[in-house]
Amino acid sequence: MPDPTDTPPSLFRQRFAIERAHEGHRLDQFLAAALGEFSRAALQRAIKRGHVLVGGETVKPSHRLQVGDAVEVALPVDDGPLLAAEPVGLDVLFEDDHMLAINKPPDMVVHPSKGHQEGTLVNALLGHTQTLSSSYGELRAGIVHRLDRDTSGVILVAKTDRAHAAMADQFQQRTVEKHYAAVVEREPELDADRIDAPIAPSRNRTSFTVRSGGKPSTSIYRVQRRFRGFAHLDVQILTGRTHQIRVHLAHIGHPVVADALYGSRDALYRSDLLGQKPGDGEPPLIARQALHAHRIAIDHPITGERMEFTAPLPDDMTALLDALAELRSR
């Protein structure tokens, strides 16, 4: 008989609808690319133990995927005790009984992982409300979509399982409108353009790249203001790939300012704009990718009313744009 004091492990849950770009791919290879926090060996073991279903059935790691396959993942996660609720002040843009819209600050991880059990958005949400959806397990309580750690701005949270399902469906159907503010290196030749370029994990799987056979990905940028050597863009993403904006803008030769992974520097200083070397102790204008989820529009998960949420630019991006206007105006 099981010990009644035993605490069952948390479950990491994720669902995928297979698109044409992944038709014929092995199940274990697909999951290794889609779930970077798990090793391929761990995923193969999980598949063999029945923690991954395709069309409701257990299959082998070598199973070849077909368009329309429903892949359901439920992996036990040994994350120790229940996640701690933390009294972290959140910038709440909207809240009702069904959903929240949060203005996430930079340098905040969205959901816990092995290396981040504290200080995450989920920890802060648990400290803010006792009502969060449980559809995707404790580690992603309420989280409908994600933002990179160093990307600030609007992120949506579901408070009930019904709301989570309705919101997730809108993301999957691509009816959610998502706009980002980005400051990039060099001025684009065009005032607006559409980037259609497939994205896949890089060879070493630490980043992503544009490559034939990757996931179809589409971004649209519009220049908001030009500076000498820089530009402020509005970027709308029609798909939601990991690092999509950063990868696409780097691909066309305009990496996001201070993007250490896809650009040439991890910070930008006032001295850089003056053509000088930064002095000792000079604080950077910005020390993370200059990317902010500025605006998102979605149908309310219960009423169906179209709702739009806007997050003002954070201080570091405002300081960057002010410095560019002062020192690099055209």
Whether residues 127 and 50 share a domain: the answer is no
Residue 230 Cα to chain centre, angstroms? 24
Contacts of 169 (CB under 8 A, 6+ apart): none
Residue 199 Cα to chain centre, angstroms? 14
Residues known to be catalytic? 148
Residue pair 292/235 in contact by the 8 Å Cβ criterion: no
**What is the mean pLDDT of the segment spanning 143-155?**
92
pLDDT at res. 140: 66
Say whether pLDDT at 51 is over 50: yes
Whether residues 302 and 286 share a domain: the answer is yes
Per the structure, the count of domains in the chain is 3
Residue 87 falls inside a structural domain: no
Whether residues 148 and 239 share a domain: the answer is no
Residue 241 falls inside a structural domain: yes
pTM of this structure? 0.76
pLDDT at res. 3: 42
pLDDT at res. 217: 96
Whether residues 216 and 269 share a domain: the answer is yes
And the tokens for 219? 């971004």
Whether residues 183 and 161 share a domain: the answer is no
Residue 169 falls inside a structural domain: yes
Residue with tokens 């691909």: 251
The per-residue pLDDT for range 80-133, each reduced to its tens digit, is: 445 678 888 899 999 999 999 999 999 888 876 655 667 888 888 988 888 888
Residue pair 38/52 in contact by the 8 Å Cβ criterion: no
The per-residue pLDDT for range 294-329, each reduced to its tens digit, is: 999 999 999 999 999 999 999 999 999 999 999 999
pLDDT band at 37 (very low <50, low <70, confident <90, very high): low
Say how far apart CA 93 and CA 103 lie, in whole Å: 7
pLDDT-wise least confident of 10-14, 59-63, 243-247: 10-14
Mean pLDDT, the chain, rounded, equals: 88
Whether residues 140 and 189 share a domain: the answer is no
Whether residues 200 and 272 share a domain: the answer is yes
